[in-house]
Amino acid sequence: MCGIIGYIGCQNAADVVFKGLKRLEYRGYDSAGIAVIVGNKLQIRRSVGKLCNLEKELKRDPINSNIGIGHTRWATHGKPSEENAHPHTDSTNSIVIVHNGIIENYAELKLKLQKEVRKFSSETDTESIVHLIKKHYDKDLFKAVLKTLKELKGSYALGVICKDEPNKIVCARQDAPLIIGIGKGENFIASDVSALLPYTRNMIFLENGDVAEITEDKVVVKNIENSIQSREIKNIKWNAMQSEKNGYKHFMLKEIFEQPRTIEDTFRDRIYPDDGKVCIEEVKFKEEDIIKISSIYVVGCGTAYHAGLVSKFLFENFAKIPTEVDVASEFKYRNPILNNKVLVIVVSQSGETADTLAALRLAKKNGCQTLAVCNIVGSSISREATYTIYTHCGPEIGVASTKAFTGQLAVFYMLALDLASKKRTLTNKELKRYLKELWEVPLKVNKFLSIAETVNDIAKFFEHKKNFLYLGRHVNYPLALEGALKLKEISYIHAEGYAAGEMKHGPIALIDEFMPVVAIAIKSKIYEKIISNIEEVKARGGVVIAIAHDGDKKIASKSDHVIYVPSTDEFISPIITAIPLQLFAYYISVSLGCDVDQPRNLAKSVTVE
């Protein structure tokens, strides 16, 4: 949550920082601001709401400088307002900061600082930091920041500049992501890689406890005790175009349409259908480690949690390993039974979700083997887990997770089949069959996307409905949850996902002509069961939109609308049924005029508890 960026070099810092903020806006979008140093004065522009408001402000009152910092906010302490927008300054307007994270002891710091007659002008936790830096300042910004950090409790990615030292940015990281971009005669800081891709692909991923001083031609990283730290410069493979809309109306639509490629990229060089082999280089479990695994916990939040729910079916059915799936915010407080025979798999697109990171740390503390499924290279979760399997999805900018979900499923299929192969719980023939099915998934998704408009045609009938039920069974039950989550987060329509067999235990009371039901009814061992559930809905005047396999003639007579998807094995089907669910939510959101990519109250990366 919240994005920060900083620049020092010979370009106009306000331009570079503003463009970077645009790429970070998905992290928070209730206010934004920029600070630069002009002459020996700080110049600050801030505004409430989206970046277009800040843009107007910058046009009305331009600023030009070679050094600047910027922030896009998702409010934690204090409502979205200009006073609470970052950057924040000390009372003498000498030092200015941007901050992502939460300062837990801000209230006591504030009380102390107020007694020392420091005037606060916002309700934020961040403002205490800048007053503290000013208090410790004695002609050396870096030292003042070091002294300040020793008094802070909580998480931060900080960018600080001072009008009396206009040739440097000081930055620091603790439990919030921060990257330094290395340019030629210019350097950058940012919350994530995508903000810097138009300028450089050479990046340093700061570690917790790092504090850095950045000038236009030098980067020095130290720890809080002022000792030099050596940090590798990594070359990032993503390119700037991947963070653009490329002609699509929304990032979400672009990301939905990217899925044939992202799924294929995630499988490439890892599955070999002809040989019945999976080879995931990143995972170095020995066969004896695998035999030792008594159970698996899969932990994540939101969409990542739903991918985890699908994985339970795969680990249990393919590899015969008992698997539990937990929402990260529950896992860490419920005292789960953890030991060195338990494998804990944390799933996170961003690799920065605070609850998932905490779950990973709990697992490590209890001696579990840990594995992360992540999209962002160098993210906190990927660095702390013993092994990380990356989804090769490229940057996901739309707040609603789409290609990351199918990427996570792709990883789970490979991992479950790999474990099954090593444990010999599937025959080589079965392995080959599943791998062949997986190999065909990108083609099938592509085929379905060529008729995406049919989903739009159906969505048009339902755009004014106030409630939806999503039903699924077995491996597609998590997809019912995911379909409902997609709809509610981007269109603000109330939607619930249910295991279809649960209908009779309560939810069927909701059925009438005003409650559309989306039923995932692909061919499977329990196809007839879901057909019965559909009949029960129809018998009570409900309206059914079924998602069914191509060629299923029966379903048309049972439902009001059918979305046909290419047929595949039932275990593999979720990676395909996900696509119509994503599109259905997308088209409804567009027709309601909602902000598809940046839905209200949300942020892409939830880095606070």
Enzyme catalytic residues: 2, 604
Reading the block at residue 95, the tokens are: 């030092």
Examine residue 303 and tell whether it contacts ligand M6R (CB under 6 A): yes
The single-letter code of the amino acid at 242 is Q
> In angstroms, rounded to a whole number, what is the distance separating the alpha carbons of residues 412 and 266?
11
Contact window for ligand M6R (CB under 6 A) among 28-36, 66-74, 102-110, 343-351: 343-351
Examine residue 301 and tell whether it contacts ligand M6R (CB under 6 A): yes
**Residues 6+ positions from 190 with CB-CB distance below 8 Å:** 3, 4, 5, 6, 20, 24, 178, 179, 181, 196
Examine residue 214 and tell whether it contacts ligand M6R (CB under 6 A): no
How much helix, strand and coil, in percent to the nearest 5, is found in the chain? 40, 25, 40
> In angstroms, rounded to a whole number, what is the distance separating the alpha carbons of residues 598 and 399?
6
Q: Which is nearer to ligand M6R, 356 or 406 (CB)?
A: 356
Q: Which is nearer to ligand M6R, 354 or 503 (CB)?
A: 354
| Nearest distance from C-beta of residue 326 to ligand M6R, angstroms | 13
Reading the block at residue 22, the tokens are: 């645009």
| Nearest distance from C-beta of residue 578 to ligand M6R, angstroms | 11
| Nearest distance from C-beta of residue 74 to ligand M6R, angstroms | 12
Give the closest residue to 576 by CA, choosing from 260, 335, 334: 260
Examine residue 607 and tell whether it contacts ligand M6R (CB under 6 A): no
Contact window for ligand M6R (CB under 6 A) among 60-68, 145-153, 173-181, 301-309: 301-309
Do 411 and 388 contact (CB within 8 A), yes or no?
no
| Nearest distance from C-beta of residue 339 to ligand M6R, angstroms | 25
Helix residue ranges, H only, 366-475: 380-384, 403-423, 428-449, 452-459
Examine residue 34 and tell whether it contacts ligand M6R (CB under 6 A): no
Examine residue 350 and tell whether it contacts ligand M6R (CB under 6 A): yes
Examine residue 399 and tell whether it contacts ligand M6R (CB under 6 A): yes
Q: Which is nearer to ligand M6R, 350 or 568 (CB)?
A: 350
> In angstroms, rounded to a whole number, what is the distance separating the alpha carbons of residues 312 and 107?
43
Reading the block at residue 282, the tokens are: 């990143």
Do 224 and 209 contact (CB within 8 A), yes or no?
yes
| Nearest distance from C-beta of residue 275 to ligand M6R, angstroms | 32
Examine residue 304 and tell whether it contacts ligand M6R (CB under 6 A): yes
Interface residue with ligand M6R, options 174, 243, 323, 353 (CB under 6 A): 353
Number of residues that bind ligand M6R (CB under 6 A): 16
Interface residue with ligand M6R, options 329, 391, 401, 582 (CB under 6 A): 401
> In angstroms, rounded to a whole number, what is the distance separating the alpha carbons of residues 415 and 220?
40
Do 466 and 565 contact (CB within 8 A), yes or no?
no
Examine residue 605 and tell whether it contacts ligand M6R (CB under 6 A): yes
Interface residue with ligand M6R, options 302, 395, 478, 516 (CB under 6 A): 302
Contact window for ligand M6R (CB under 6 A) among 34-42, 97-105, 220-228, 396-404: 396-404
Q: Which is nearer to ligand M6R, 484 or 563 (CB)?
A: 484
Per-residue b or e along 565-591, where b marks 16 or more CB atoms closer than 10 Å to that residue's CB: bbbbebbbbbbbbbbbbbbbbbbbbbe
The single-letter code of the amino acid at 245 is K
307 SS3 class: helix
| Nearest distance from C-beta of residue 606 to ligand M6R, angstroms | 5
**Residues 6+ positions from 286 with CB-CB distance below 8 Å:** none
Beta bridge partners of 99: 158
Interface residue with ligand M6R, options 323, 356, 380, 607 (CB under 6 A): 356
Burial of 241 (0-12, 13-18, 19+ CB in 10 A): exposed
| Nearest distance from C-beta of residue 600 to ligand M6R, angstroms | 12
> In angstroms, rounded to a whole number, what is the distance separating the alpha carbons of residues 609 and 358?
9
Examine residue 396 and tell whether it contacts ligand M6R (CB under 6 A): no
Examine residue 603 and tell whether it contacts ligand M6R (CB under 6 A): no
> In angstroms, rounded to a whole number, what is the distance separating the alpha carbons of residues 53 and 375?
31
Do 423 and 315 contact (CB within 8 A), yes or no?
no
Examine residue 418 and tell whether it contacts ligand M6R (CB under 6 A): no
Cβ count near 506 (within 10 Å): 9
Bridge pairing between strands 295-300 and 323-327: parallel
Helix residue ranges, H only, 196-249: none
Examine residue 400 and tell whether it contacts ligand M6R (CB under 6 A): yes
Examine residue 329 and tell whether it contacts ligand M6R (CB under 6 A): no
Interface residue with ligand M6R, options 348, 391, 573, 582 (CB under 6 A): 348
Give the closest residue to 126 by CA, choosing from 74, 178, 165, 48: 74
Examine residue 31 and tell whether it contacts ligand M6R (CB under 6 A): no
Q: Which is nearer to ligand M6R, 355 or 552 (CB)?
A: 355
Cβ count near 364 (within 10 Å): 16
| Nearest distance from C-beta of residue 584 to ligand M6R, angstroms | 14
Q: Which is nearer to ligand M6R, 146 or 346 (CB)?
A: 346
Examine residue 395 and tell whether it contacts ligand M6R (CB under 6 A): no
Interface residue with ligand M6R, options 25, 30, 216, 489 (CB under 6 A): 489
| Nearest distance from C-beta of residue 486 to ligand M6R, angstroms | 6
Which residues contact ligand M6R by CB under 6 A? 301-304, 348-350, 353, 356, 399-401, 485, 489, 605-606
